[in-house]
Structure 1
Amino acid sequence: MDRRNWLRSSMVLALGARTAWGDTPPAAGPGIEVEETRIISYKAPLYHGWPTVAARANGELLLVFSGGRETHVCPFGRVELMRSQDGGKTWRWPQVIYDGPIDDRDAGVVETAKGTILITTFTSLAYEPVLKKAEAIAAGQPGAWDEKLLNEWRAVHNRISAEQRQAELGCWMLRSTDGGVNWSARYRVPVNSPHGPVSLTGGGLLYPGVALWEPDRKVGVCRSTDDGQSWEWLADIPTRPGDNHKEYHEMHAVEAANGTIVCHIRNHNKPNAGETLQSESTDGGKTWSVPRSIGVWGLPSHLLRLRDGRLLMSYGYRRAPFGNQVRVSEDHGKTWSAPATISGDGAGGDLGYPSTVERADGRLVTVWYERLKTAPEAQLRQAIWKFA
């Protein structure tokens, strides 16, 4: 099921946000001041989606995304990287890191304790039914594509054979040990999630996600003890009673100041449809609690531990007012505040996947993608903000 159908399902099934605290309402939302909101995409006619921003130890910001696209589902996606040396005030021209023969989607990025940069992506053939439908409509009929456009899709699609396209499906990682000047060849990893793996205290790496193209589509956590060169399956994340684990999607995790690892899960089961669920581990990711509702309608979530020890979750909000919200936890993820709005002027549900970094001056930079009222295709948008 592609994201458009996920979105329709969540709109139909969402029953409103339930709280995880019984009759006790969540803490008040954090006071924030959004200082600047702007588009940061270059080559605006292209569709740019599903970004991740990360801060390096030297202060440089890295931003990866699926670029070169024509629309939400198409065969043209590629992994691109932009850099900022001034905290997001300006961004350098995008660098194409990977462009495979089929669609390369969601890009995640993290810097390890050793300074290695890891970029993640996954490949998809979700565009194939779209192309087949377009080819089935005769020229001149309602819904027929322009011949030039149809030929471009065919040309990309037919670069490799049907068998080769199937072999291209996978979850991938690329690695750089020189600050992103040179990159390894892509290599397979067991899972995917939009924002990629996270670093743990002590230098290890944890990657919660979904084994997208495996027959049983496992949901769980992988671990790397060699700086991201190899990954091993560490643990399944349990399925909540009554849920189907195949309706868990797009996870992200963070290590809280007390050592608890908090993992957020995009949920499309009927109970709490369209909400973010949460699972925790207190033993370094070896075992996990049964996912629970935290009372947050919106997804997917990106998690960040702030320098003061609080946790910050950033997530897309795909109903009016369309935009992006953040919440904080002051008790290592046990409870979450009411929301604060980063943006609320979206044109519709084709937006979100926000991620956030904290600058040295205490300001925060949140980046997301959004199909704007004033642009034909989705662009990268950024907010610089601070706690009031």
Structure 2
Amino acid sequence: MEHVTVYREAGRYAGWPANYGIWHWGDEIVVGFTRGYYQESAHFHARDRDRPFDPLQARSLDGGATWTVQPFPGTTPGGRGLSADEHMNPDLWVANALDGPDAPVDCPGGIQFTHPDFALMCARTGLRAGARSWFYISYDRCRSWQGPYWLPDFGQTGIAARTDYLVDGPERCTLFLTAAKPDGQEGRVFCARTTDGGRTFSFVSWVTPEPKGYTIMPASVRLPSGRILTAVRCSEGSSTTTSPHCWIDLYASDDDGVSWHRLSTPVPDAGRGGNPPTLTLLQGEAAGTHLCLTYGFRTPPFAMQAVLSEDGGRSWGPAITLRSGAGNHDIGYPRTVQRPDGTLVTVYYWNDRPDQERYIAATLWRI
């Protein structure tokens, strides 16, 4: 395994690639993340809430070996950060800029989802009731982004969109999103779909049952058989503990997202606080049924881990440690892609010591 640094700067806090997305075209890989300022006294997420977060993206042209970083090449409402309001004090929130300059607008449609250089990225304000979400599109491998375009609220108390979508055809795309629950708390995963090039989106179905705690942050693939698989981050509800049980479940749909059933639990124990999964359909000789799921494990020894399935997600092997020994549990939120040569590239955020900056790293590894 090879560990490389994607972005690191003393005094800064870089994190949460899973909130933004990863896209690749052969050995060209682009990943989104956000950057704020480090503040040790903030403890777990050691960031300065009184200073802004700004969105960045990193690009590799050599399969993840080296990276260049640039500001997000698109328009953000009020010039503010994306998908990081919960990490800033209210006067810095992008939620306060949604009626001002560069606010999201309704999408006119006409999106070419099957364009060879297409990418889509979702963004949001918060996580609970009142959260609003929008999206961007690119036809040039993330070198520029069109938008922001509104996502509907689908009749829910709030929509917290992270980037998880399946291109189904030239004008058809399925998005996997998290809705706030009726009580306003996080959250329950559902799927929505456009069949008219993004002009309208309709609610398709709930992926998970109503949770006692939450089911959030989906990661989805479509198998060659047509079955859709969606991995979700889960936490039980509890009023008696500050460290509830966290795990990762896998749900399946055999009718194009109309109905779902729980297929398996790839990660029965996801560690302290849990971590979002990223799900990758493997290529080559393993194509069709072999899957890789990666996640951060926030219990000592603080690790990036993976589990593998050879039967389409019905069963999973033991955890594989990709990297361990972080400074504390402020790690993870990965996204993983597979290069044409079979190498897997897992991008995540990491820290070497709890009193140092958080940075974006990648592990290049093979099965």
The interval holding the TM-score normalised by the smaller chain is 0.7 to 0.9
CA RMSD of aligned residues (A): 3.1
Q: How do 1:311-350 and structure 2 match up within 5 A?
A: 311-350=291-330
Residue 199, structure 1, aligned to residue 161, structure 2: no
Pair 1:338–1:290, CA change in 2 (3 A)? closer
Cross-structure match for 2:83:
105
Q: Give the SS at the match of 1:319.
A: coil
* Cα distance per residue 1:205-230 (max 9 Å; x no partner): 32222124987665311113345554
CA distance in 2, matches of 1:347, 1:236: 37
Cross-structure match for 2:99:
none
Q: CA deviation at 1:343?
A: 0.9
Q: How do 1:21-60 and structure 2 match up within 5 A?
A: 34=1, 36-52=2-18, 54-60=22-28
Match of 1:252 among 219, 223, 228: 219
* Cα distance per residue 1:168-196 (max 9 Å; x no partner): x4222111223334322312225445443
Match of 1:96 among 66, 72, 97: 72
Q: Give the SS at the match of 1:93.
A: strand
Please give the TM-score of this superposition, normalised by the length of structure 1: 0.70
Cross-structure match for 2:124:
122
Pair 1:326–1:85, CA change in 2 (3 A)? same
CA distance in 2, matches of 1:67, 1:113: 31
The one-letter code of the counterpart of 2:306 is V
**What are structure 2's unaligned runs of at least 5 residues?**
40-44, 85-111, 153-158, 239-243
2:253/2:259 contact within 8 Å kept = yes
Residue 184, structure 1, aligned to residue 151, structure 2: no
Aligned residues: 307
Residue 223, structure 1, aligned to residue 190, structure 2: no
Pair 1:193–1:376, CA change in 2 (3 A)? same
The one-letter code of the counterpart of 2:145 is W
Q: Give the SS at the match of 2:299.
A: coil
Higher mean displacement: 39-48 or 362-371: 39-48
Pair 1:294–1:313, CA change in 2 (3 A)? closer
Match of 1:288 among 260, 268, 276: 260
Q: CA deviation at 1:287?
A: 1.0
- Structure having greater relative contact order (Cα 8 Å, sep ≥ 6): 1
Pair 1:325–1:58, CA change in 2 (3 A)? closer
Higher mean displacement: 170-179 or 48-57: 48-57
Residue 386, structure 1, aligned to residue 348, structure 2: no
The one-letter code of the counterpart of 2:67 is W
Structure holding more helix per residue:
1
Higher mean displacement: 184-193 or 336-345: 184-193
The one-letter code of the counterpart of 2:311 is D
1:78/1:99 contact within 8 Å kept = no
2:26/2:340 contact within 8 Å kept = no
Q: How do 1:343-362 and structure 2 match up within 5 A?
A: 343-362=323-342
Match of 1:170 among 132, 138, 157: 132
Higher mean displacement: 193-202 or 327-336: 193-202
* Cα distance per residue 1:367-388 (max 9 Å; x no partner): 101233176221101111112x
CA distance in 2, matches of 1:354, 1:273: 20
Pair 1:382–1:238, CA change in 2 (3 A)? closer
CA distance in 1, matches of 2:133, 2:181: 8
**What are structure 1's unaligned runs of at least 5 residues?**
1-33, 127-165
Pair 1:256–1:99, CA change in 2 (3 A)? same
Q: Give the SS at the match of 1:334.
A: coil
Residue 239, structure 1, aligned to residue 239, structure 2: no
Residue 62, structure 1, aligned to residue 62, structure 2: no
Pair 1:95–1:330, CA change in 2 (3 A)? same
CA distance in 1, matches of 2:4, 2:119: 26
* Cα distance per residue 1:331-370 (max 9 Å; x no partner): 1111111111111111111111111111111111111012
- State, as a whole percentage, how many aligned pairs show the same letter: 24
Q: CA deviation at 1:314?
A: 0.6
Match of 1:365 among 342, 345, 349: 345
Q: Give the SS at the match of 1:343.
A: strand
CA distance in 2, matches of 1:186, 1:367: 25
